[in-house]
Structure 1
Amino acid sequence: MTQYCRKCGAELDDDAEFCNSCGFNLNSNLNEQKIKKFEHHTSSNKNEFVTKSPLILAVIGIIISIAEGLSTPLLLGWDSILIAMAVGVIGGVLGIILMEKFDEPLIAAIEFIATGFLIYTFIGRFGEIATILFIIAAVLALYLKGHHTKNKKLFAIPILTVILLFVLLIAGGAAYQINAENSVTVGNLTQNITNDGYGYYNGYITGDIKLDSNFDYLSVHVDFLDSNGKVIDSTIGWSSANPENGKTYKISALYFDQQNPAKAEIKVVDSFNDETPLYTENMTILTTSEV
């Protein structure tokens, strides 16, 4: 008696156990085979997703690093923001290439960790999500893909990424400092500090500041010192976010204290970094009496 395949309908020999056309096992249940095939397909998809998770997280990390950079306050400086975004993109892409193309999960993990570290170095908590994503991608790459290294010379990539970035940062910072110092002019400084006769000294120091470059944030700090050089009062005489290039602004620093100031130090500070002021000038205070 001629039999037919229950799966594809092909005509078969009477004693056939497998279909010559589609390979179906004639002794098995069709539904059971469909279920097993579906379960195998589902399991394969899950395994593939898990295996690709480091790649997925790295791609998301690249996108998030750009988004976090764009949302970082300008007070941190455009230099730091742009470097953080560049690191996220370049470091993330290099890590993906090392992991996927060269099959170097250990070196790729180091690259991801270095990328996260550098992002956090430049923009701190504003880049913490991208930093965490890159670190998780590194951990998963090691866990899922192993710790093997085929070409140890590729270790130079994450090392050079860090070294080159800091070399460029130092060189760029030095160039920026020189340009910024030459772009700030302070003039017309005057003082008017008086003894009011009631045990207090009060008054102000005024002046002008002219800018010949673009800045994210600038401020003028004025420290009043006693005769021994000790700071007795500090104030901000002027500050501005994104001040206009080519514009002259007025400085006005008020003083009110019981101690007689002997000197004043005027500093122009970029982005709150008063350790390396762009401009510094010292004035001797000559107080007058209102009595």
Structure 2
Amino acid sequence: MESNNEDKLKYLPLVLGILGVFLGLVEGLNCPVLFGWENIITEMVISVVGGLAAVILYWKTDETLVSGIQFMVTGILMFALIQNMATYGLILFVLTGLITIFLGGNFSVSDKRLIGIPAGTFILLIIILLIVGFASSMYEDNLSNEISISNLNAQCEDSFGYYNSNVTYDLNVNTSMDYIQADVIYYDQDGKIIRTDTPWSQYNINPGVYKIKSTYFDTFKPVKAEISLKNDYDSNESFYTQNVTFTQTQASI
């Protein structure tokens, strides 16, 4: 009976590892786009490649220490990419790694070459991020050609020491997009940023014309503004920018 129980326990890391792979895919598919699609895709690839590598190591070799480490490395990398959205995947893979190591009872590595597999997972992560980053750069270059701004107007009224300003424009979108954030950055005469406003942001954008208006009211006089468009909430990089100089007027008494 004890032998049968041990045989059943042998399959536990195998089952948990496969569940971890599926969980990693589900977490990636359910991750909000604001985490960046490159991070989401990379997390899903790591969960499949890293998780299956650990499963194969466990099933085909006696190197339970290496396979346990591989399970844990996979979970940690997933969490590093999409943070709390991969919490359950992290817990499951780390738990599977610990179970694998302690069930095997082997705390040494016979074939030193297999240590390269967890290290290779880190290298794979770097390669994927480089490739996806290059693809993302090309995508953003192409994306800027699908966006244009028309009917741009920037007015600044001096109202007895207070400056009442607004920037209005039509945002013309020629392609479907997951997300756009429109920022307006206000500058004084010395080129110093005096205000950043986010008048508009939206998910699941269809082609069309979107009317944007940003307002400003303060004692610091804006001289020019920069319109900045982002397609990633969690990024400081803009895929489209345009500058405009304010038309100055004086309020009537």
| Fold shared per TM-score above 0.5 | yes
| Residue aligning to 1:237 | 199
Deviation digits for residues 47-69 of structure 1 (CA, Å, limit 9, x no counterpart): 23333332232122122222222
Name which of 50, 59, 68 aligns with 2:18: 59
Does 2:137 correspond to 1:161? Answer: no
1:269 maps to amino acid: K
SS in structure 2 of the partner of residue 183 of structure 1: helix
1:193 pairs with one of 151, 156, 163: 156
1:217 maps to 2:179:
yes
CA change 1:177–1:235 in 2 (3 A) is same
| CA RMSD across the alignment | 2.1
Indicate yes or no: 2:115 matched with 1:171. Answer: no
d(CA) in 1 for partners of 2:49 and 2:235? 32
- List per-residue Cα deviations over 1:185-229 (Å, max 9, x = no partner): 3322221221233x3211311223333554321111111122233
Indicate conservation of the 8 Å contact 1:265/1:280, yes or no.
Answer: yes
Higher RCO, 1 vs 2 (CA within 8 Å, ≥6 residues apart):
2
Q: Does 1:134 align with 2:97?
A: no
What one-letter code is carried by the residue in structure 1 that aligns with 2:216?
A: Y
The 1:90–1:71 alpha-carbon spacing in structure 2 relative to 1, beyond 3 Å, is same
Is 1:77–1:216's contact at 8 Å kept on the other side of the alignment?
A: no
Q: 1:105-130 CA deviation, whole Å, 9 max, x = no partner?
A: 22212321221122112211011111
User: Partners of 1:278 and 1:68 in 2: how far apart?
Assistant: 27
The answer to whether the 8 A contact 2:35-2:233 is kept is no
Q: Given that residues 42 and 128 in structure 2 are in contact (C-alpha distance below 8 angstroms), is that contact kept between their aligned partners in structure 1?
A: no
Q: In terms of mean alpha carbon deviation, does 160-169 or 77-86 score higher?
A: 77-86
1:260 is paired with a residue whose SS is: coil
Q: For the structure 1 residues 215 and 170, does the alpha-carbon distance in structure 2 shift closer, same or farther, using more than 3 Å as the test? A: farther
Partners of 1:63 and 1:171 in 2: CA distance:
24
Q: Helix, strand or coil for the counterpart of 1:235? A: strand
CA distance in 2, matches of 1:209, 1:162: 41
Native 8 Å contact 1:183 1:211 kept in 2: no
Q: What is the aligned length?
A: 248
Q: Give deviations 1:65-90, integer Å, cap 9, x for gaps.
A: 22222332233244332332232122
Give the 3-state SS of the residue equivalent to 1:147 in structure 2. coil
- Identity value in percent: 32
CA distance in 2 between partners of 1:133 and 1:239 (Å): 35
Q: Which runs of 4+ in 1 moved over 4 A?
A: none
* Letter of the structure 2 residue corresponding to residue 254 of structure 1: T
Instruction: Find the counterpart in structure 2 of residue 288 from structure 1.
Output: 249
Deviation at 1:272, TM superposition (A): 1.8
If you compute each CA radius of gyration, which structure gives the higher value, 1 or 2? Answer: 1
Tell me what 1:263 maps to: 224
Question: In the superposition, relative to structure 1, how do residues 251 and 186 fare at CA in structure 2: closer, same or farther (>3 Å)?
Answer: farther
Task: Give the number of the structure whose residues are more often strand, by fraction.
Answer: 2
> Shift of residue 241 of structure 1?
0.4
TM-score, scaled relative to structure 1: 0.77
Instruction: Tell me, in whole angstroms, the C-alpha distance in 1 between the residues paired with 2:141 and 2:215.
Output: 25
Which residue of the other structure, out of 67, 78, 86, is the alignment partner of 1:108?
A: 67
What does residue 17 of structure 1 align with? none
Deviation at 1:98, TM superposition (A): 0.7
1:52–1:271 Cα change, 3 Å:
same
What amino acid is the match of 2:116?
A
**Alpha-carbon distance in 2 for matches of 1:214, 1:240:** 12
Structure 2 gap segments, 5+ residues each: none
Q: What's the counterpart of residue 190 of structure 2?
A: 228
Helix, strand or coil for the counterpart of 1:208? strand
| C-alpha distance in 1 between matches for 2:126 and 2:173 | 29
Asked whether the 8 Å contact 1:75–1:241 carries over to 2, the reply is no
User: Which amino acid in structure 2 is aligned with residue 275 of structure 1?
Assistant: N
Q: Does 1:99 align with 2:58?
A: yes
Gaps of 5+ in 1: 1-40
The SS at the match of 1:111 is: helix
Query: Post-superposition shift, 1:248?
Result: 3.3
Give the aligned residue type for 2:99: L
Counterpart of 2:227 in structure 1: which amino acid?
I
